[in-house]
Structure 1
Amino acid sequence: MSKSGTIRTGIGGWTFEPWEGTFYPEKLSKKRQLEFASRELTAVEVNGTYYSSQKPETFAKWASEVPEGFVFSLKASRYSTNRKVLGDAGESIERFLTQGLTELGPHLGPILWQFAPTKKFEPDDFEAFLKLLPEKLDGLPLRHALEARHPSFMVPEFAALARKYKAAIVYAHHDEYPEMADVTADFVYARLQRGSDDMPTCYPPKALDEWANRMKIWADGGQPDDLPLVDPQHEAPKQPRDVFAFFITSGKVNAPNGARELQKRAQPRE
């Protein structure tokens, strides 16, 4: 077994007008933006799948344009997570999962299940939802990341459920949403949302160094000691973990620069 997991950094989507001529070369056609982005970065979080379904041919096309090792994290359909009773989401979850995701093959990264900031933690209903998330799809392993954004989730019971169903709690570096860095799966998923358009690297260099160090610790199987936990009494097993970090929302203009710089800093220890 390797000593460290794979570290990947990325951005939300790959189409954004301010990136044209800054991140993307002048006169690069929109049709080639994914090709370019996937060779500069190591992952992309796709937001479009949250709002509408895609065709199998679309996923196949995406897969054909990216190099080996690059992955797409897909945000799950809003119809699966924006509901009063999560346990009733079975049909929506199945519809999302069977739209052609497996066409991505090894380029399929974690699936992000994002819950509304108003959605409160109801243990029985949330477990009913987790039971609906399969470990595999047509033989392809699935990784599930849970982004809970209501303070009621900041309890050990939430972390225990995530561990039970091998799902990762998303660490959201956000000004308003809960910060929960508990390691509950064989991978770690972070969304860095405190960037600035005035900062050339989205986050200040010192902050990038700090995040790179945390990512290395996660990849090596450890737990950073400077991030908040909801279940500090539980110690995650020491094992290599893949780590994903995405620059999202704030500072989007310079998000690609942040992702590139963080990737450089976060190269695994020899």
Structure 2
Amino acid sequence: MTVRIGISGWRYAPWRGVFYPPGLVQRRELEHASRCFPSIELNGSFYSLQSPDSYSAWHDATPADFVFAVKGPRYITHLRRLRDIDKPMANFLASGLLRLRPKLGPLLWQLPPNFKFDAGLLDGFLGALPRDTEAALALARRRDIGLMRGRSALAIDRNRPLRHAIEVRHPSFCEPAFIELLRRHRVALVIADTAGTWPYLEDVTADFLYLRLHGDAELYVSGYSDDALTRWAQRIRRWSEGGEPADAVRVGGRAPKLARRDVYCYFDNDMKVHAPFDAQVLMDKLSLPAPCPAREDVAPITRQV
């Protein structure tokens, strides 16, 4: 099994001199963060199409065994609301993410809070998602040529499987039909801790888990206590062993037990610089290498890079 604990994004001004060493130049922040965590959620792709050169640079700045999760565009999920998205999806897939090669991990699709469960619409969307990089490349070739001229990357080094996860924020998704739909399409339901702001479900719907920890007391702001991180470590360990916690919050039935499941977990409580340090503590509780200095050890660092 593979358990990857990481952070959502890496470029935050308040982190400089706190998580990042004083004097570290901005262009090397990813290089630093990717030596601390085995995975990072790339969220700039949510706000706008990135460039092939950017994806290539991100690939080259990170270690060989590093993995990016890539967040799908809000243009697809929030503006088009999953309708008439053939060209937007092709443009996204052509924009360079295939240049991440083996470092391309799960694709994250986040639906807006006012998006209600529509079984037919969601079934069509999930069924159209590419399940490997050859399928993604075939879709990418159907891009808007005018819009994407000079901004496309249409090549892969080899065929690799693709995974997808979906994060929902409307209570209408809290029903068994939604869980059954995800299991049929083998798409992971994001387990999202949002301080009670949006629905919380722990249904296992794929052969991997995708967790987003936004803060358990105040959304995007609060850090996690030692007890809370111990609890998350216990749950992650159980999921990675192919089972489920005895008190799992579910609206569907239990998932079939597997020998193992991969787990991806990202901290998104970045506003007060809690995310990287909470991630380090959780890694330690799971006996995963945590090579970066702890919060109390950061202040004396004066190394210039």
TM-score of the two chains, using structure 2 as the length reference: 0.81
2:149 maps to what in 1?
A: none
Q: Would the aligned equivalents of 1:170 and 1:188 in 2 still touch at CA under 8 Å?
A: yes
Do the aligned partners of residues 57 and 25 (structure 1) sit closer, same or farther apart at CA in structure 2, a change above 3 Å counting?
same
Query: How many correspondences in the alignment?
Result: 260
Do the aligned partners of residues 194 and 113 (structure 1) sit closer, same or farther apart at CA in structure 2, a change above 3 Å counting?
same
Q: 2:2 aligns with which of 2, 6, 19?
A: 6
Q: 1:60 aligns with which of 43, 56, 61?
A: 56
2:164 maps to what in 1?
A: 144
| Greater radius of gyration (CA) | 2
Distance in structure 1 (CA, Å) of the matches to 2:217 and 2:28 = 27
Letter in 2 for 1:255: A
- Does residue 119 (structure 1) correspond to residue 115 (structure 2)? The answer is yes
Distance in structure 2 (CA, Å) of the matches to 1:23 and 1:226 = 35
Q: Would the aligned equivalents of 1:86 and 1:125 in 2 still touch at CA under 8 Å?
A: yes
Q: Secondary structure of 2:18's match?
A: coil
Structure 1 moving runs of 4+ over 6 Å: none
2:242 maps to what in 1?
A: 221
1:128 maps to what in 2?
A: 124
1:251 Cα offset (Å)? 5.3
2:282 maps to what in 1?
A: 262
1:267 Cα offset (Å)? 3.1
Alignment map for 1:71-220 (pairs within 5 Å): 71-83=67-79, 86-138=82-134, 139-174=159-194, 175-194=196-215, 202-220=223-241
Give structure 1 stretches of 5+ with no counterpart. none
Distance in structure 1 (CA, Å) of the matches to 2:113 and 2:269 = 16
Root-mean-square deviation over aligned CA pairs: 1.8
Give structure 2 stretches of 5+ with no counterpart. 135-158, 289-305
Deviation string 1:230-259 (CA, Å, 9 cap, x unpaired) is: 10x233332311101111146541210011
TM-score of the two chains, using structure 1 as the length reference: 0.91
Deviation string 1:101-153 (CA, Å, 9 cap, x unpaired) is: 11111111111100000000011111011111010123221110000110000
Q: 2:273 aligns with which of 253, 257, 263?
A: 253
Letter in 2 for 1:105: R
2:257 maps to what in 1?
A: 237
Moved more, 90-99 or 32-41: 90-99
